Amino acid sequence: MKVVVTGGAVFIGSAVIRHTADSVVNIDKLTYAGNLESLAETSNSDRYAFEQVDICNRTAVDRVFRDQQPDAVMHLAAESHVDRSIDGPTAFIETNIIGTYSLLETARQYWQSLGHERKRAFRFHHISTDEVCGECLFTETTPYAPSSPYSASKANSDHLVRAWRRTYGLPTLVTNCSNNYGPYPFSEKLIPLVILNPLEGKPLPVYDKGDQVRDWFYVEDHACALCKVVTEGRDGETYNIGGHNENQNLEVVLTLCDLLDELRPRGDRSSYRSLNTHVQDRPGHYLRYAIDASKIQRALGWTPKETFESGIRKTVEWYLDNLGWCRRVQGGSYQRERLSSTAQGLQAYERHHSRRQFRHSSLPDHQRRIQATVTYPRQADGLLSAVGTDARRYPQHPADQYP
């Protein structure tokens, strides 16, 4: 089988390419988070091809499909950092919504040109996030309630994928995963930040009290699950994928400090825990994302291999053995500073927390949903461009009615 993997030079995408035995065509724009060094062990393989292409460039993506003739698509290309989405949501709208639309159109027209057997076997696998459902324990049928520009853009892309199946018959699969960690990530997320900062004596920023709960999922387990879904998943199904490892952010930080104390002790033998610094929470930050991943276990027989304890130790050891890679991939554009600290972000933070009691206590369950506005794409001169939002107004969140 030949698979197009979008975003294959970034964290999860590169893990998929390293894991799979199939032929792979890696489509990646190589933004700040993409690095081909993550694929050094596969780059010379006969089963691997790389195309530096923006998924919003319809003409270029059409050419790749025409030349490579894939049997499946695994769509991982996305802007994914919540803090960056708060500071600059435009890139998230362009890549996550318009880029997904463009890729779906390429895949649809390509799929319609295939012979009967290849058409029947083709799959478009869209990889998404647990954040689309908001602050709840969610299953595959939980209503969406995104809280950030990032999660709203991913929710939009999920809806587009399902619509292309229902409207055009394109065979699709959707997976939603929890927080990934492991080898080869960009250094802006919590776990790489907490490993790298203390080695340089920098503070460890912990949002608010650090009591936000996330399910932590080792990336190699995720890659295994994704490959199983694209080959064995049932057309039209959604599968939640998680690590069954819920921990508060502060617990994660302290665990990492203790591992560094053991594996790379400081010269004065003081604990890295002393670098913990509590900072103002990000705007719209939910306390808990929880994922019910029982369906994939029942339907496909998949369960994660790594516990949090085993996976996090492997991760710290990998970082300590690959500090050169970390420095090279970081470059000079990002120095692990805290993002989403703009004046607008702080104002949104204050509005969010002043209404939080209404949002989570006073309102009935059926009203705790956020309606997202939609951007409408169009084709212009063969290239994708964005059209402004429709003039119609969509209902506001009920909490926004309060002063």
Q: Which residues are catalytic?
A: 130-131, 150
Residue that has been written with the tokens 């490959």 in this structure: 227
> Is 306 within 8 Å of 221 (Cβ atoms)?
yes
Q: Which of 217, 1, 244, 243 is nearest to 125 (CA)?
A: 1
- Rounded to whole angstroms, the Cα distance separating 269 from 264 reads 10
Range list of H helices, 142-183:
149-168
Q: How far does Cα 129 stand from its chain's mean position?
A: 6
| Tokens at 315, concatenated | 């991760």
Helical packing angle, 100-112 and 149-168, nearest 10°: 20
DSSP class per residue in 319-373: HHH-HHHHHHHHTTT--S---S-SHHHHHHHHHHHHSHHIIIIIS-GGG---PPP
| Tokens at 119, concatenated | 């058409």
Neighbours of 174 (CB within 10 A): 24
- Rounded to whole angstroms, the Cα distance separating 124 from 74 reads 6
Give me the numbers of helices (H) and strands (E) for the chain, helices first please.
15, 16
